[in-house]
Amino acid sequence: MGISVTWLDRPIAILVHDTVGQFEVSGSFTGTPSFFSPLAIVILLVLLARRIAFRPFGKLDVTLILSDMSIILAKLIMPPLKLLFGRTWPQYHHPSLIGDGVFGFNFLHSGPEFESFPSGHMASICAMIVVFWICYPRFRPIYWLVMATMAGGLIGGNYHFVSDVLAGALVGISTAMLVVSIWEAASSRRFFWLDRAYPRR
């Protein structure tokens, strides 16, 4: 992370601005954070409906629940982190590196102009995808592609610095691993007590 902040963030942001610019497709990435909140709500409603209908949860249901919880946890963690680091943006807010020559962290500064680090986009996508990575490992090449596409869009569109994306990925991966670990521990404990109550014959 420190290597990226010191040597990569500014040169890559300037290179992207000078060579790539903002393609029309990159604008679609600005709407992705608002996509994850409705997704979390829809998943919960679908699972609630299944439960009301007395349909037992399968592996996919549990995976969806865990990914939902991971997204929610990542979104709860994100605002305090953004406030703590108070980082300015590469280009599309003011002050920014490209528009104003401003680059750096302004610790404990609030407001949308100081919310570049970590990337909420990357945190959300990793929070969801890494749960599936753990539960359905056979599709890992697809998961890599999804996360790389998000990272490439954010950096290639100059919405975030490289270190913003790395930090967001770290947050999302951490929340995914946390909720899966808690679930596995809780499941093991529950099955242990079931075995004692209903011993196998």
Domains of the chain, with CATH numbers?
Answer: 2-197 (1.20.144)
Is the pLDDT at 34 greater than 80? The verdict is no
- pLDDT of 164 reads 98
DSSP code for 137: G
Q: For 125-153, what is each residue's pLDDT tens digit?
A: 999 999 999 999 999 999 999 999 999 99
Two structure tokens written together for 36: 């994850």
CA distances from 143 to 7, 54, 130, 201 (A): 28, 32, 8, 42
Cβ distance 131 to 59 under 8 Å? Answer: no
189: left (phi over 0), alpha (psi -120 to 50) or beta: alpha
Is the pLDDT at 26 greater than 50? The verdict is no
In this prediction the pTM is: 0.83
- pLDDT of 186 reads 87
Q: For 154-201, what is each residue's pLDDT tens digit?
A: 999 999 999 999 999 999 999 999 999 999 988 876 544 334 443 444
Two structure tokens written together for 53: 């209908």
- pLDDT of 121 reads 92
The answer to whether the Cα torsion of 191, 129, 132, 128 is positive or negative is positive
- Compute how many other C-beta atoms are within 10 angstroms of the C-beta atom of residue 179: 24
